[in-house]
Structure 1
Amino acid sequence: MNTSTSAHWRSIAIVGPYQSGKSTLLESLLFVTGAISRKGTVEDGNSVADGTAEARARQMGVEVNAAFAEYQGVQLSFLDCPGSIEFAQETWNALIGVDAALVVCEPEATRALIVAPLLKFLDDWQIPHVLFINKMDRASTPLKEVLAALQSISSRPLALRQFPIGQGDRLSGFIDLVSEQAWQYHPGGPPDPIALPEIYRSDELAARAELLEVLAEFDDHLLEELVEEIEPPEAEIRTDLKRDLEDDLIVPVFCGVALRDFGVRPLLAALLSEVPEAACSARHRGIAAEGPPVAQVLKTFYSPQSGKLSLVRIWRGVLADGAQINGARLAGLYRLCGQQQTALAAAGPGEIVALGRLEGIKTGDTLALGSQETPLASCAPLTPVFALAIAPEKRADEVKFSAAVAKLLEEDPSLSWQQNSGTREVVLWGQGEIHLQVALGRLRRKYNLPMQSHPPQVPYRETIRRAWSSHGRYKHQTGGHGQFGDVYLDIRPLARGEGFQFAETIVGGVVPRQYVPGVETGVREALERGPLGYPVVDVAVTLTNGSYHTVDSSEQAFKQAARIAMHEGLARCEPVLLEPIVELDVSVPVEFTARALRLLSGKRGQILHYQGDGERREWDCVNAFLPLAQMNEFAIELRSLSLGVGCFAWRPAHLQEVPEKLAERLLART
């Protein structure tokens, strides 16, 4: 059995914006630790993180990938997380199960804002995290400006650990601000110690003073030393760095070039020595040190070959293959490195492993052995903002469609689907167009279920502007009994949202009571498709008069008479087209607020108000109404104008008349 203690494990999520170099950094970390003998690249589609056809086709991460390494006696579990905001659910679900996050970003002040959603999530969940400024050989902005931009979006103080020697393509090494030792880079190999260049002496002293000031905010003894101009021992500085990172008080910042292995070894050394141990992370999550095994599901995979796999973080105890957990028997326990699986007999606290065939277990669930454990906090599914209508290309595939989509939603909780009764379409909802195209690609690849898709129809409705009294008579003579029904209906509009009302004011028995339900049924059926071709809403109908035949009348005849009266009457009631309106809460950085307001106005939105976002500095929250027909385009364009960080939540609001000219164009197409 695996008897490694939690002190020997570190689990680290590698996160960052799209194209920041996360997967390249993972490849470098695995190469430096000896976990792989040769580095792959995203461009060649042979990196550890390029496990699926969807990732290789787009040269971007589309789901969490696990990797394992061992270095200097410490076992390392890495989770490479997608960078695109459309796959944020994958990242959030993974982050709650790690000891720390390694945030990768680019050395451009103007792009620092892209990291804001990640830093907010990490700060909200109090997850320790380290920043790695990648691609320093392409830097065109002074490091001080980059740090200032990053600090403006972080609620934790940044603590620069290295000062670069050279800039851009002249980058040649770094100065460790703790030891004050200078190092020279060598591509593909470890750096060599060199004498600190005098030209950098003053910059290094200033940067080191800033580092110590950050640490002194949380250490009174260090503050006293600085006030008395006493040089603190290196060991004391390192102790402060470890403690403050464990408590999520600071964000250490490292620099380098992952593609050339520059800065990767000192980064790795810090991850080993300063990232909280597994037992410390468990305490922060409120998990008692003693008790039966506890784990949490971070990701669910379905494979045509091996079936269901649940990627879990073990928080306490040892899980053994074959054990009963949450009422299910473990049918396999594996360590993952990309697409490679290594069978294990057992795994202990701190490890991230895959468990086989845990039926009924979903992402976010808490797994416990023995007594029932209080469920650990998990991430709620993100609100979907983009939709496609989907259907199998082959009618024969409709039988397996529901089961395949159910598995798809298990793998990705940010997807959802609905059967739209108004348009009779199956609508798949997600976080964006790429997100949904990846999902459709999985249906084709994993389940041999090719799909056709198109933008969903808007569930338009219609109503009336004026009242009308209508008469309907149905008379049909056959060889036997005939059919006869005769009704007079008053049709009038209701206020928006009041739905449908039916009443009768019959006197004298001109329409027998047993036929009145047939009249109401006929009215309701007539409202399913109005004069404009859409369901009719917000209408009141009153049966006022009629006549019947003692032999030929029936409930069916009166239903037909009511339908005739409604079809003729609705056409004279000035029908108008209605469209669904949704209410949005849009969050954007203040520098993009004006653009977001213009975008809403240009999409026929109605801005209700906007104010500062109470949860984020320098962000605004805009409340507005927007036609549902515009929401797909709005989601794409909002991200485009806001560096991908603008987001919104929405909910159905009401129905509203379509502008006359637009209504004419829409009706001309039908």
Structure 2
Amino acid sequence: MQEKVKSGSRNVAIVGPYLSGKTTLLESLLFVTGAISRKGSCKEGNTVGDSSTEARARNMSVEVSAASTKYEDTNFTFIDCPGNVEFAQETYNALIGVDAAIVVCEPANDRVLTLAPLFKFLDDWEIPHIIFVNKMDRANNHVIEVLNALKTVSSRPLVPHQYPIMQGEALTGFIDLVSEQAYLYHSGAPAQQIPLPEELKAEERAAREDMLEALADFDDHLLEKLLEDIEPPQEEILKDLKLELGADLVVPVFFGVAEQDYGVRPLLEALIQEAPEPETTAQRRQLGQNVNTPIAQVLKTYYTPQGGKISLVRVWRGTLTDGMVLNGVRAGGIYRLTGQQQKLLRKAEAGEIVALSRLDNIYTGDTLSIDKESVKELPKAESLRPVYALAIAPEHRKDEVKLSSAIGKLLEEDPSLAWEQHGDTHEVILWGQGEIHLQVALDRLRRKYNLPMSTHMPQVAYKETIRKPVDSIHGRYKHQSGGHGQFGDVYLDIKPLPRGEGFNFKQTIVGGVVPKQYIPGVETGVREFLSNGPLGFPVVDVAVTLTNGSYHSVDSSEQAFKQAARAAMQTGMPKCKPTLLEPVLQVKVNTPSEFTSKVLQLLSGRRGQILGYEAVGNWQGWDSITAYLPKAEMQDFIVELRSQTLGVGSFSWEYDHLQEVPDKLADRVLAMNGDGNGNSNGNGK
């Protein structure tokens, strides 16, 4: 085979579902390439990836970790990404900066559906990716069955690059389907070439034909050779693999056991020979014509106890130097990261992923340049809409002043978090992607910023309205003390408005029975009462008309008329048949079609009103369900949705309208609001 020209670097993300072995694969890659002398393990908490306190406490990735190494004159930067769906934002933000991705999965047919959202993101962004079927020593299904299952969730053709050699349940070697050479694995050493096993020749030929036919779909010259039974040379097969992988047209598949380093060296060879070079990836991003202007993009933001803010960036074009001003901010040092370790660099060339310090007011996804005005903003991963919330408060009141600053830094590190100071319930609410996601955020507040928090479920922002109009409600305020007294006298008409109309105030005073200068006081008194109606909640969709009244030339004042108006509302509102309202969301749920009926039942069981469902246009085998869902039923909806859909179901939401609460539920809410507990359903008053 002729010598292949190799580019100097590759940036590769390691992605896949929770517990598929991504961090173990990273340890193996670093060990095999000599970057570390001893492999760590997730159980012992000493791996290069998962190095944060929160990750080690849970034995799972909770943020991306970068690690650099070198193999056969090629510099690699690997980005180990979380597998738990609650940290998908981390993965998506990192993926937009790599040249290729390794999708790690288990040989378990019943779990392949967990790969579907990841495959969709990779294909939507046209990110080249390779599948590494890990844990082949625990395979319960034949390799062909595994491949067929994987094909059901990939919109791109799968191209088996290897055929595993199994001895019982143990993986002992592999056959390279390009060279048709067989290899035997040895612990701690490269695989040894062996004769092709006779008993596997037929299966190997069938697998190779599958590979060649998949490649021929994109290469007419190769197709002609196959039709004429001409054996294509290895160089042509490798060239096709490189071209079609680089264009995200096919997905090569490898097999191995990362814990034993089996399959890791062939995987590295494929990344060198077939994965696109950084220059190719940059060309596909269409960065413009001025090749001398440096362009970089922030993939991840960290706040470290010692070094402060650090931004992990992909250098797309040009050279970054120490102290360079990017987007008007002078960058600090340039570092190459390997887990928690930092190696200081003088510069970073195009195609590298490095860390820059002290980029204040620069955020994840931002495009960086020395001349921002002349550079087009690069696309960035869409921020996931939060779906789970907790109300939080500092355990110590003295810490309230530093809460907003700490949460601001937390959101810089993790853009899939959000927070709000709720105007109705007066709670600080932290939003995220699930219970574990928020617990990790709270752990960081405690560890990094010494801000221990107490939490509870957010209160529902109930409102109330009226169903019956009343006329000529009299309110009088008369107070006599030394000197001038206070006197105000009003008659009000109160009536309901259509849902969503809010509040309307007007007056029909004739003959100056209430002087004009006192009428604003009447409106103020009405508004103040409506902030806490007879049921204990803010009142909406009400019209109040001032129709009559009287005044005293000396004792009347705007304040007196405000008190008179409150007295009239206090008398009149209970006569208007007040009723409780709850906020209703419009939700859009995405689910695999096989779970659609379960999701419909789930929504209906939570008082949801199904508006309709249809197939997702660009996602075969998935349905989108639209429904109205009371916000009171939303709190743990994402937890149950994921449990019903193998963890892949998702939803987005937006506030839609208020609706009356059913009588039995309203009685429970009012009982809780009145007993002083409030808990999750009061308004805190």
Give the TM-score band, short-chain normalised.
Answer: over 0.9
Structural mapping, 1:148-167, within 5 Å:
148-166=148-166
Tell me which amino acid in the other structure corresponds to 1:385: V
TM-aligned CA deviation for residue 520 of structure 1: 0.5
Deviates more, 1:565-574 or 1:521-530: 565-574
Which residue is equivalent to 2:308?
307
TM-aligned CA deviation for residue 236 of structure 1: 0.9
Alpha carbons of 1:464 and 1:331: their partners in 2 closer, same or farther (altered >3 Å)? same
Tell me which amino acid in the other structure corresponds to 1:491: I
Which residue is equivalent to 1:541?
544
Which residue is equivalent to 2:437?
435
Tell me whether 1:525 sits opposite 2:528 in the alignment. yes
Tell me whether 1:112 sits opposite 2:112 in the alignment. yes
Q: Pick from 508, 511, 515 the counterpart of residue 512 of structure 1.
A: 515
Which residue is equivalent to 2:286?
286
Tell me which amino acid in the other structure corresponds to 1:254: F
Distance across 1 between alignment mates of 2:167 and 2:628:
48
Distance across 2 between alignment mates of 1:247 and 1:571:
69
Distance across 2 between alignment mates of 1:288 and 1:534:
56
SS of corresponding position for 2:410: helix
Alpha carbons of 1:524 and 1:238: their partners in 2 closer, same or farther (altered >3 Å)? same
TM-aligned CA deviation for residue 373 of structure 1: 1.2
Query: Contact 2:610–2:628 (CA<8 Å) still a contact in 1?
Result: yes
Structural mapping, 1:132-151, within 5 Å:
132-151=132-151
SS of corresponding position for 1:172: strand
Query: Contact 2:171–2:256 (CA<8 Å) still a contact in 1?
Result: no
Which residue is equivalent to 1:55?
55
Which residue is equivalent to 1:346?
347
Which residue is equivalent to 1:363?
364
Alpha carbons of 1:58 and 1:552: their partners in 2 closer, same or farther (altered >3 Å)? same
Which residue is equivalent to 1:31?
31
Q: Deviation per CA, 1:403-454: give whole Å up to 9, x if none.
A: 1111111111111111101000011111111111111111111111111111
Number of matched residues?
A: 666
Which residue is equivalent to 1:272?
272
Structural mapping, 1:95-134, within 5 Å:
95-134=95-134
Q: Pick from 388, 396, 399 the counterpart of residue 397 of structure 1.
A: 399
SS of corresponding position for 2:35: coil
SS of corresponding position for 2:383: coil
Query: Contact 1:6–1:348 (CA<8 Å) still a contact in 2?
Result: no
Tell me which amino acid in the other structure corresponds to 2:490: V
TM-aligned CA deviation for residue 562 of structure 1: 0.4
Query: Contact 2:608–2:628 (CA<8 Å) still a contact in 1?
Result: yes
Q: Deviation per CA, 1:309-344: give whole Å up to 9, x if none.
A: 010001111111122222121210100000000101
TM-score (norm 2): 0.96
TM-aligned CA deviation for residue 6 of structure 1: 10
Distance across 2 between alignment mates of 1:235 and 1:476:
100
Tell me whether 1:617 sits opposite 2:635 in the alignment. no
Query: Contact 2:420–2:429 (CA<8 Å) still a contact in 1?
Result: yes
Distance across 2 between alignment mates of 1:168 and 1:484:
96
Distance across 2 between alignment mates of 1:264 and 1:657:
60
Q: Pick from 587, 591, 598 the counterpart of residue 595 of structure 1.
A: 598
Which residue is equivalent to 1:463?
465
Q: Deviation per CA, 1:197-244: give whole Å up to 9, x if none.
A: 111111111000000000101111110100000011111111111111
TM-aligned CA deviation for residue 167 of structure 1: 6.3
Distance across 2 between alignment mates of 1:638 and 1:457:
22
Q: Pick from 563, 568, 593 the counterpart of residue 565 of structure 1.
A: 568
Structural mapping, 1:224-243, within 5 Å:
224-243=224-243
Query: Contact 1:139–1:168 (CA<8 Å) still a contact in 2?
Result: no
TM-aligned CA deviation for residue 370 of structure 1: 4.1
Query: Contact 1:6–1:349 (CA<8 Å) still a contact in 2?
Result: no
Distance across 2 between alignment mates of 1:242 and 1:623:
42
Query: Contact 1:311–1:355 (CA<8 Å) still a contact in 2?
Result: yes
Query: Contact 1:160–1:207 (CA<8 Å) still a contact in 2?
Result: yes
Tell me which amino acid in the other structure corresponds to 1:393: E
Q: Deviation per CA, 1:163-201: give whole Å up to 9, x if none.
A: 111166232111111111111112232211111111111
Tell me which amino acid in the other structure corresponds to 2:325: Q
Which residue is equivalent to 1:415?
417
Query: Contact 2:10–2:74 (CA<8 Å) still a contact in 1?
Result: yes
Query: Contact 2:424–2:461 (CA<8 Å) still a contact in 1?
Result: yes
SS of corresponding position for 2:634: helix
Structural mapping, 1:63-212, within 5 Å:
63-166=63-166, 169-212=169-212
Distance across 2 between alignment mates of 1:167 and 1:521:
84
SS of corresponding position for 1:235: helix
Which residue is equivalent to 2:678?
none
Distance across 2 between alignment mates of 1:475 and 1:524:
21
Tell me which amino acid in the other structure corresponds to 2:560: A
Tell me which amino acid in the other structure corresponds to 1:356: S
TM-aligned CA deviation for residue 392 of structure 1: 0.9
Tell me which amino acid in the other structure corresponds to 1:558: F
TM-aligned CA deviation for residue 16 of structure 1: 0.4
Distance across 2 between alignment mates of 1:603 and 1:49:
40
Distance across 2 between alignment mates of 1:494 and 1:314:
58
SS of corresponding position for 2:566: helix
SS of corresponding position for 1:487: strand
TM-score (norm 1): 0.98
TM-aligned CA deviation for residue 634 of structure 1: 0.8
Q: Deviation per CA, 1:256-312: give whole Å up to 9, x if none.
A: 111111111101110111111111110011124722211110011111211110100
Query: Contact 2:135–2:258 (CA<8 Å) still a contact in 1?
Result: yes
CA RMSD of aligned residues (A): 1.2
Distance across 2 between alignment mates of 1:524 and 1:481:
27
Tell me whether 1:626 sits opposite 2:646 in the alignment. no
SS of corresponding position for 1:632: coil
Alpha carbons of 1:167 and 1:521: their partners in 2 closer, same or farther (altered >3 Å)? farther
Deviates more, 1:372-381 or 1:97-106: 372-381
Query: Contact 1:137–1:168 (CA<8 Å) still a contact in 2?
Result: no
Which residue is equivalent to 1:10?
10
Query: Contact 1:432–1:635 (CA<8 Å) still a contact in 2?
Result: yes
SS of corresponding position for 2:212: helix
Identity of paired residues, percent?
63
SS of corresponding position for 1:407: helix
Tell me which amino acid in the other structure corresponds to 2:333: G
Tell me whether 1:445 sits opposite 2:465 in the alignment. no
Distance across 2 between alignment mates of 1:379 and 1:50:
23
Deviates more, 1:364-373 or 1:326-335: 364-373
SS of corresponding position for 1:341: strand
Alpha carbons of 1:466 and 1:6: their partners in 2 closer, same or farther (altered >3 Å)? farther
TM-aligned CA deviation for residue 158 of structure 1: 0.5
SS of corresponding position for 1:598: helix
Which residue is equivalent to 1:330?
331
Query: Contact 2:585–2:629 (CA<8 Å) still a contact in 1?
Result: yes
Which residue is equivalent to 2:492?
489
Which residue is equivalent to 2:683?
none
SS of corresponding position for 2:447: helix
Query: Contact 1:107–1:133 (CA<8 Å) still a contact in 2?
Result: yes
SS of corresponding position for 2:93: helix
Distance across 1 between alignment mates of 2:414 and 2:6:
30
**Structure 1: 5+ residue runs without aligned partners?**
none
Distance across 1 between alignment mates of 2:651 and 2:326:
38
Which residue is equivalent to 2:299?
298
Which residue is equivalent to 2:643?
640
Distance across 2 between alignment mates of 1:547 and 1:520:
16
